[in-house]
């Protein structure tokens, strides 16, 4: 990656969830963006850290590279939807069978940029890794505004499917002029210095 390239992630919001095994399978076969040779997966209790391994060998091992953070949750997964089964035919309470299910651990990438994507070195590259994870996740949404070489890019991935997205510039609350009915405290003749 040349030093002239400019890459940033300005806004990011994620509600992605995928089985932990699917995430591990993805990491074993993934092709990572330029600048990242590998992604180390570490688990501490119910927190997952996916840390970028820099291709640049001059980066000190003490320099924190970008990382993705997820929480681990357990969800009960049914072999068939219990609501569909109940609605498909009538039965007596006594005849009700237990529906086969198992507890599955899920990786949940939920929150805004500072929660999900941390540290600045290789941040854009790890954002691209998160986008690839979003495309294999069957549940959740990833929305983001990033910049690459001076161009803003909007990203929106819903339930594993990339969707059209646009960057829209709107007037923020701090940029609005005070209305004529408001009091301008800095230039008020009734307040003396």
Read off the tokens for 158.
């819903």
- The 10s digit of each residue's pLDDT in 106-160 is 999 999 999 999 999 999 999 999 999 999 998 999 999 999 888 999 999 999 9
What percent of the chain lies above the pLDDT cut of 90? Answer: 61
Q: Give the model's pLDDT for residue 2.
A: 43
Nearest to 124 by CA among 48, 169, 71, 65: 65
Q: Give the model's pLDDT for residue 134.
A: 97
- The 10s digit of each residue's pLDDT in 84-110 is 555 555 555 555 567 788 899 999 999
Residue 132 CB neighbour total at 10 angstroms? 15
Q: Give the model's pLDDT for residue 182.
A: 57
Report the chain's mean pLDDT, rounded to a whole number.
84
H helix intervals, 81-137: 82-88, 113-116, 123-136
Rounded Cα distance, 117 and 50, in Å: 10
Name the band, by pLDDT with cuts 50, 70 and 90, for residue 51.
Answer: very high
Q: Which residues contact 101 (CB under 8 A, 6 or more apart)?
A: 76, 77, 78, 79
Indicate whether 18 pLDDT > 50: yes
Name the band, by pLDDT with cuts 50, 70 and 90, for residue 171.
Answer: confident
Query: DSSP code of 24?
Result: H
Read off the tokens for 85.
């089964």
Q: Give the model's pLDDT for residue 28.
A: 95
Rounded Cα distance, 71 and 48, in Å: 6
What backbone torsions phi and psi does residue 126 show, to the nearest 5 degrees?
A: -70, -30
Indicate whether 54 pLDDT > 70: yes
Whole-model pTM: value is 0.77
Q: Which residues contact 20 (CB under 8 A, 6 or more apart)?
A: 48, 72, 104, 105, 106, 107
Q: Give the model's pLDDT for residue 76.
A: 86
Residue 78, CB-side half-sphere exposure with 13 Å CA sphere = 8
Nearest to 58 by CA among 3, 128, 125: 3
Q: Give the model's pLDDT for residue 60.
A: 86
Rounded Cα distance, 71 and 44, in Å: 10
């Amino acid at each position: 990656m040349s030093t002239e390239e400019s890459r940033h992630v300005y806004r990011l919001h994620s509600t992605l969830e995928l089985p932990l095994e699917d995430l591990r399978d993805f990491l074993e076969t993934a092709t990572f963006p330029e600048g990242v040779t590998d992604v180390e997966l570490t688990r501490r209790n119910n927190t997952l850290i996916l840390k970028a391994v820099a291709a640049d060998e001059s980066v000190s091992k003490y320099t924190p590279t970008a990382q993705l953070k997820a929480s681990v949750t357990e969800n009960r997964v049914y072999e068939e939807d219990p609501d569909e089964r109940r609605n498909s035919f009538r039965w007596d309470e006594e005849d009700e069978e237990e529906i086969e299910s198992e507890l599955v651990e899920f990786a949940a990438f939920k929150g805004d940029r500072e929660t999900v994507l941390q540290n600045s070195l290789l941040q854009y590259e790890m954002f691209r890794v998160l986008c690839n994870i979003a495309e294999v996740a069957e549940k959740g949404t990833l929305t983001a505004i990033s910049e690459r070489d001076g161009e803003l890019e909007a990203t929106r991935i819903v339930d594993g499917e990339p969707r059209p997205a646009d960057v829209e510039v709107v007037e923020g609350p701090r940029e609005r002029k005070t209305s004529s009915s408001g009091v301008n405290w800095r230039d008020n003749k009734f307040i003396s210095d």
